[in-house]
Amino acid sequence: MMETRSHGSDVARKGRHRSSQGSVTMAVVVVTMVVAVAVLVGSMVLAYVLALHRVRAASDMAALTAATQAVQGAGESGACDEARRIASDNGAELTSCEVQQAGAEVAAGVETQIKLTWRMPGLPDTVSSISYAGNP
């Protein structure tokens, strides 16, 4: 017995197989691109949140330093100079400093900021924080 094969159906099957491979490839490319963009955006938001935590910590330490220096008799300029150094050591810039002293009570308020090296649309290019220390 002789077997006969229909070559037309084999060709049609191979053609369908190739076209479905192409659509799977495109789906994989699209999914990969969506994942890559999501990772990039997530990384940028995470970096923004970390910068915000850093500036808050620097602001808190600068305010505590200013209050401590004022209690030790450094005066407003000396206290603010030391607060500026502490903020700088923590990667922030001291943008304002005020020390008020009435007898034994001291209150210090500082504002610090960190300029971000990148900018995400819709978010500011700096993060800042205000902190207070001492007796109000």
Q: State the pLDDT confidence band at 47, using cuts at 50, 70 and 90.
A: confident
What average pLDDT does this structure show over 44-51? Answer: 85
Rounded to two decimals, the pTM is: 0.69
Alpha-carbon separation of residue 115 from 36, 60, 84, 101 (angstroms): 26, 18, 16, 31
pLDDT single digits (tens) 50-101:
889 999 999 999 999 998 888 888 888 888 999 999 999 988 989 998 888 7
Q: Is 112 a member of any domain?
A: yes
53 with 70: CB under 8 angstroms?
A: no
69 lies in which domain range?
7-134
pLDDT at residue 15 tops 70: no
Q: In 10 A of CB 110, how many CB atoms?
A: 32
pLDDT at residue 32 tops 90: yes
What pLDDT does residue 86 have? 92
Q: Is 67 a member of any domain?
A: yes
Q: Is 13 a member of any domain?
A: yes
Q: In 10 A of CB 6, how many CB atoms?
A: 8
Q: Is 2 a member of any domain?
A: no
Q: Is 19 a member of any domain?
A: yes
Q: How far is it, in rounded angstroms, from Cα 51 to Cα 75?
A: 31
pLDDT at residue 9 tops 60: no
Q: Is 122 a member of any domain?
A: yes
CA torsion through residues 118, 124, 125, 130, sign: negative
- Counted domains in the chain: 1
Alpha-carbon separation of residue 38 from 26, 28, 102 (angstroms): 18, 15, 53
